[in-house]
Amino acid sequence: MHLHLAYPAVLAVLLFCVGLYGVLARRNAILVLMSVELMLNAVNLNLVAFDVWLRDSLHAGQALTLFTIAIAAAEIGIGLAIVLAVYRNRGSSAVDDLRDTAEGPDDGTDGGTDDGTDGGTDEETAPAQKAEATA
């Protein structure tokens, strides 16, 4: 019996597209991780289908699939740990809220100048203010 490569390839493309949509459209971090797993499973399906189609004596596609499954398990474990830590700190697992943690405080200061807001004495800030006033 000869395997038609089109059937698993079309199924893998559909799975990958559903996973890609899930990564791009979802806001919940858990659903994004599940979508990444769906994409990895589409790749695994292609690896096994091409391994059978090429009749590889070493079964390299199946071996690569086992490595992919192991990496996916590690990825989901670390990903869930990060999502749980973020959920405990922020109370939400929305991906849009995670963008706020990467950005610094948006107060307009550059942090490196002495503009008198650091609680220093007036003697320390007076020369800087005089220089700004004369410039």
Q: How far is CA 86 from the centre of its chain?
A: 13
Q: How many residues does the chain have?
A: 135
Return d(Cα 98, Cα 101) in angstroms, integer: 5
Name the packing angle between helices 29-54 and 60-90 (round to 10°).
Answer: 180
Q: If you search the block for the tokens 């650091």, which residue do you land on?
A: 118
Per-residue pLDDT of the chain (135 residues; tens, 9 = 90+): 566 899 999 999 999 999 999 999 988 999 999 999 999 999 999 999 999 999 988 999 999 999 999 999 999 999 999 999 989 998 888 888 777 666 655 555 555 555 555 555 555 555 555 555 555
Predicted local confidence at residue 112, as pLDDT? 54
- What DSSP state is assigned to residue 28? B
0.75 surpassed by pTM: no
Predicted local confidence at residue 7, as pLDDT? 94
Residue 123: which residues within 8 A CB-CB, separation 6 or more? none
